[in-house]
Amino acid sequence: MNNQQIKSLLTEHLNNPAFNVDMAASIMNRIHTPKRMTMRRMLLIAALFALLASATYAAVISIIELKNKDGSTDFEIAITENSSAEDIKIASPVTQFEDFDTNDIPEELKDKPCITLSIEDPTKYNIHNTSYFINEYDEMTKILDPTFMPDAFGEFTFERVLLVYSINIPSQETLNTIASNHPSKKYHTFALTYDEVGVSFYEYMYQDLRYTVQLTPSIDDRTYNQDQLKQHEVISLGATEALVIIRDNLDFYFDKDGKSITKTYENNYQILWKQGDYEYSIKPSHHNVEYPDFKDRSIGSYPEETKDQLIQFATLIHNHLSEKN
């Protein structure tokens, strides 16, 4: 079946049902009705400024930055563990607020401070490579849902900043340790990103490799599906048992010229463990083509020392999480 055939099917599908609605009148009527600032909106603005002016702030570590498409950082919020409101730097002025439905916020979060920001020109930014915190919390699955996209005008709400910290963000000290091990300061802050299927993961730089740390809710035991594991060994991360998975990995990536290359990785190590309500997995991140200053680990096999590094790094993350929780 070629593209034209698929298009014919889609066309037929889209023509049924046949929409023939004229909503112009109702839309124009709404446009011509002046919008008033609601009381809720005024209260939200007032609450935000009160929060920023307050001397104390809950202990949170969050680094939120928006990168321009040329890679430079244009907008940053840095909230450190011991910072006060004065330490919160907002490079871009707050221009607009998003109304949100407080009924959507789980009970335990309703007393958490909220920050809602709007970016004036979101088209400037490469949003997918941006560190930002997702504004929805799924009560049942406890996943940070990165698919709640900022709308085309850059409105998003950072009200889950505290929650994110309490789960998995390392301290500034840890980040600094990580950064100091690498000569390039390009990734001295970690980035919360997501792949195209919307799973949240963190990319860290540790020593000379990029790592992906992924968390998934423990409700789904697929990570420990023994049938899927080719080979594994059990190690200890302190009091927690972890699996070192060795699996063949077939992956596609594109080189700098956009040419598709299929690579098979032998001895692709991955470490999995459960902690609290989450399962964590850490593996070397293989999309290194756009980061030429990194050693290229994306071709061929991962040598044994990668496994040792992986265990060291996993231990670091595990210990930090154990301290915090």
Binding site for other proteins (CB under 8 A): 1, 3, 6-7, 9-15, 17, 19-24, 26-28, 30-32, 101, 104, 121, 123, 126-128, 136-141, 143, 145, 147-153, 196-199, 217, 219-220, 252-254, 258, 260
Q: Is 287 or 320 the residue whose CB approaches other proteins more closely?
A: 287
Cα within 13 Å of Cα(76), Cβ side:
11
Beta strands in the chain (DSSP E): 62-67, 73-79, 116-118, 155-157, 191-194, 200-206, 209-217, 231-237, 240-254, 260-275, 278-284
Q: Smallest distance, Å, CB 323 to other proteins?
A: 29
Q: Smallest distance, Å, CB 309 to other proteins?
A: 27
Q: Smallest distance, Å, CB 109 to other proteins?
A: 13
Q: Is 9 or 59 the residue whose CB approaches other proteins more closely?
A: 9
Cα within 13 Å of Cα(234), Cβ side:
6
Containing 113, the helix (H) or strand (E) segment is none
Residues making up the chain, counted from first to last: 325
Of 196, 115, 202, which is closest to residue 167 (Cα–Cα)?
A: 202
Q: Smallest distance, Å, CB 261 to other proteins?
A: 11
Pairing of strands 260-275, 155-157: unpaired
Find out whether 291 and 186 touch, Cβ atoms under 8 Å: yes
Partners of 278 in the β-ladder: 217, 275
| Per-residue CA distances from 157 to 119, 123, 150, 267, 295 (Å) | 11, 18, 9, 41, 36
Find out whether 209 and 223 touch, Cβ atoms under 8 Å: no
Q: Is 87 or 108 the residue whose CB approaches other proteins more closely?
A: 108
Partners of 242 in the β-ladder: 235, 273
Q: Is 39 or 152 the residue whose CB approaches other proteins more closely?
A: 152
Tell me how far apart the alpha carbons of residues 211 and 194 are, in angstroms, rounded to a whole number: 13
Q: Smallest distance, Å, CB 232 to other proteins?
A: 24
Q: Smallest distance, Å, CB 238 to other proteins?
A: 29
Q: Is 28 or 58 the residue whose CB approaches other proteins more closely?
A: 28
Q: Smallest distance, Å, CB 264 to other proteins?
A: 16
